[in-house]
């Protein structure tokens, strides 16, 4: 199973990268970006491991870290919908 990012998720990751670069330096931002790719790859290998959160959106699943990765299965792939910091209001943004 492969993964792909929605346009909004790609923007989220770009913003996180740029903010991380300003706050922590380019190397730290790159490492954090690679963690997102690893998390997306893990979700694509085990898409049913995360619980469904229908309170957020229909068939939406969430993987946690400092940022939550919201995704849906879109057979045969998964679509990363958003990548939002855990302190953000998720329900208005999914």
Give me the CATH number covering residue 35: 3.30.2310.20
- pLDDT in the model for residue 31: 95
Among the listed residues 86, 8, 91, 3, the one whose alpha carbon sits nearest the alpha carbon of residue 39: 3
Instruction: Look at residue 42 and tell me whether its pLDDT is greater than 80.
Output: yes
- pLDDT in the model for residue 34: 93
Within a domain: 91: no
Per-chain mean pLDDT for the chain: 90
Kindly report, residue by residue over 15-36, the tens digit of the pLDDT.
999 999 999 999 999 999 999 8
| Cβ contacts of 20 within 8 Å, gap of 6 or more | 28, 29, 32, 33
Domain count for the chain: 1
pLDDT bucket at 55, cuts 50 / 70 / 90: confident
Alpha carbon distance 39, 44 (integer Å): 9
* Domain coverage including residue 64: 3-85
First to last CA, the chain: 23
Within a domain: 77: yes
């Amino acid at each position: 199973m492969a993964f792909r990012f929605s346009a909004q998720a790609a923007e989220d990751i770009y913003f996180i990268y740029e903010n991380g670069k300003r706050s922590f330096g380019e190397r730290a931002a790159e490492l954090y970006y690679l963690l997102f790719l690893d998390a997306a790859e893990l979700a694509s290998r085990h898409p049913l491991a995360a619980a469904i959160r229908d309170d957020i959106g229909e068939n939406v699943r969430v993987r946690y870290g400092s940022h939550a990765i919201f995704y849906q299965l879109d057979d045969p792939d998964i679509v990363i919908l958003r990548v939002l910091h855990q302190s953000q209001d998720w329900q208005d943004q999914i």
